[in-house]
Amino acid sequence: MDLSSKMYIELFHLMFLRKFNDNIAPELYAIKGGCNLRFFFQSMRYSEDLGIDVQTIQKQTLEKKVDKILNSSSFLKLLQGYGVTSFNKSSPKQTETTQRWKVQLHIDRLEMPVNTKIEFSRRHEEFQSELSDVRRETCQQYHLPPMRLSHYELHDAVKQKILALAYRSLTQARDVFDLYHLLHVENHKKIELGRNDIEKAKESLLSVGFNDYQSQVVSFLEAKYQKALSDSKHWENIVDEILVYLEGLTK
């Protein structure tokens, strides 16, 4: 199977999530961010890392469960079937609010190893997740059987992207692109946010340039979309449409 480095990362995320879902009740976790958009909302952007919110699960319990999956010989054997010869892992951050694993995949047909992260976060408030099928095309691409995973539904995903755009310490073009994509998925109810949140999101939006978009987004798109979406006019349209949307939230 001829996979790019970004596809190997996605394959790793999916295989990990299948194992994780077998060990954790679906109401206790929710996939968020780029993987949520990619697996459930037809995004054409590959996600570098896997982000998951968890609740109720104690820190030590989660650490043991994740380590058990990553240390499993059966998990490695599944990856080896796709040309992943081995992988290294570390867990540099293990706190009550954030638990992070770094993974480096070694692949027989790629000269350089491929890096990704799995990060779990505990929110102060309870959240509601939704159990859904990963989109069929994604599973078929890797010859994987269908899978149902827990994730944030559309309304929450939109709200999270606006807040990420507003408050991320380093503004990311991917938040702009992801928000634009979500706004075109389907009609959804109006997001309720404070005026300050919206103004900060607008300020961050206007600080992102076309070069940021090219390096942070276009290079992570499926190959068949890169040429069509790499035009500066398309980026201008994205910014203009999101700006109009954000301004509409204050009315």
What's the Cα-to-Cα distance from 122 to each of 56, 59, 118, rounded to whole Å? Answer: 9, 10, 14
Residue 51 has a pLDDT of 98
CB 242 within 8 A of CB 158: no
Domain map (residue ranges) of the chain? 5-152, 155-248
Instruction: Give the integer Cα–Cα distance in Å for 53 and 51.
Output: 7
- Tens digit of pLDDT for each residue in 43-94? 999 999 999 999 999 999 999 999 999 999 999 999 999 999 999 999 999 9
- pLDDT of 250 higher than 90: no
Q: What percent of the chain has pLDDT over 70?
A: 100
Q: Is the pTM of this model over 0.85?
A: yes
Q: In what order do the strands lie in the sheet with 114-122?
A: 84-94, 98-107, 114-122, 50-54, 29-32, 148-151, 130-133
- pLDDT of 189 higher than 80: no
Q: Which CATH superfamily is domain 5-152 in?
A: JHP933, nucleotidyltransferase-like core domain (3.10.450.620)
Residue 186 has a pLDDT of 80
- pLDDT of 187 higher than 80: no
Instruction: Give the integer Cα–Cα distance in Å for 194 and 18.
Output: 37
- pLDDT of 188 higher than 80: no
- Tens digit of pLDDT for each residue in 206-237? 999 999 999 999 999 999 999 999 999 999 99
CB 80 within 8 A of CB 71: no
- Tens digit of pLDDT for each residue in 98-154? 999 999 999 999 999 999 999 999 987 889 899 999 999 999 999 999 999 999 999
